[in-house]
Amino acid sequence: MALFQRNEVPTGPSIPEGLWVKCPRCQQIVWRREVERNLHVCPKCNYHFRLRAHDRMALLMDDGVYQPLFTELKTADPLQFRDRRRYTERLKQAWDTVGTEDAICMAEGTLGGFPVILGVMEFDFIGGSMGTVVGEKVARAAERAIEHRRALLLVAGSGGARMMEGILSLMQMAKVSAALGRLAAARIPYISVMTDPTTGGVTASFAMLGDVHLAEPGALIGFAGPRVIEQTIRQQLPEGFQRSEFLLEHGMLDMVVHRKHLRNVLIRLLRFLWNPAVHESMADATP
């Protein structure tokens, strides 16, 4: 899915295509550059457009500088899966159009001067689905955070487990959960940030295992989607069900943070959670 829904506004041939964008929430036609200046947030209704993974990394890291990690990992086709198209064809299309190795990008750098490992999911890569490479990258990121004593930050945005990899995809839930358990035992901070949407196996594993849980406004967060739940229980769900504000009210999130404030909030959390001198002494005392 593209970052913007581009529309041609019928105001004359001199208007270039893509000059305006239509907000999916308020349906207003908005000047594209105004949206970009507002960090890809609708200035009319505060709707948060999806961000590409590398754009978000540049937005969060100090001076927009970071060192990519685990770029050598690339998805195979272990089950030789095929539905309407071969899985290998879907992968090639994603590699060509999105330009990332898989549905998560990992990097290390500094955030507010604190050394961190940052992972950001790329929803445009097969719906941000979690397959073997996503699970391996998250597990390696946790292990690297332990080895180099860096805080771990993961920004989720996913439709869940990748069906084309079957049980191998579902196994990643246990794998990443175990890796994050070792991270917690080493007393390394882990902050989870959830964006729209964060669903399925990603929600049921690393997205909800942070020391602190943050979310962007209006993000859909849950395991099964609201339509599936309504059809299963045959009841109408409350207004705003599974949106980040609903989860905050019911104790599933710690904060809902506007995109323009996210970097500063993360820095404040790192100051609170990460005192290098204290953590070095803890590391020395850990058996």
Give the mean model confidence (pLDDT) for residues 12-27: 72
Alpha-carbon 250 to chain mean position = 22
Provide the 10 A C-beta neighbour count for residue 89: 12
Residue 150 scores a pLDDT above 50: yes
Residue 90 scores a pLDDT above 60: yes
Which pair of structure tokens corresponds to residue 242? 């599974």
Residue 61 scores a pLDDT above 80: yes
Determine the Cα–Cα distance for residues 67 and 102; give it in Å rounded to an integer.
17
Determine the Cα angle at 88 with ends 225 and 172, to 5°: 50
**Domain boundary assignment for the chain:** 1-8+16-49, 51-285
* pLDDT tens for each residue of 274-287: 765 545 544 554 44
Give the mean model confidence (pLDDT) for residues 62-76: 95
The pLDDT-based confidence of 103 (bands split at 50, 70, 90) is very high
Give the mean model confidence (pLDDT) for residues 184-206: 97
CATH superfamily of 51-285: 2-enoyl-CoA Hydratase; Chain A, domain 1 (3.90.226.10)
Give the mean model confidence (pLDDT) for residues 51-56: 94
Residue 102 scores a pLDDT above 80: yes
Residue 269 scores a pLDDT above 90: yes
For the ranges 109-113, 220-224, 283-287, the lowest mean pLDDT is seen at: 283-287
Provide the 10 A C-beta neighbour count for residue 244: 27
Give the mean model confidence (pLDDT) for residues 218-243: 90
Residue 9 scores a pLDDT above 80: no
Global pTM?
0.88
Number of residues written out for the chain? 287
Q: Report whether 34 contacts 43 (CB < 8 A).
A: yes
- Would you state the pLDDT for residue 149? 95
Residue 254 scores a pLDDT above 90: yes
Which pair of structure tokens corresponds to residue 170? 């579902």
Percent of the chain with pLDDT over 90: 80
b/e code 90-127 from CB counts within 10 Å (16+ = b): bbeebeeebebbbbbbbbbbebbebbbbbbbbbbbbbb
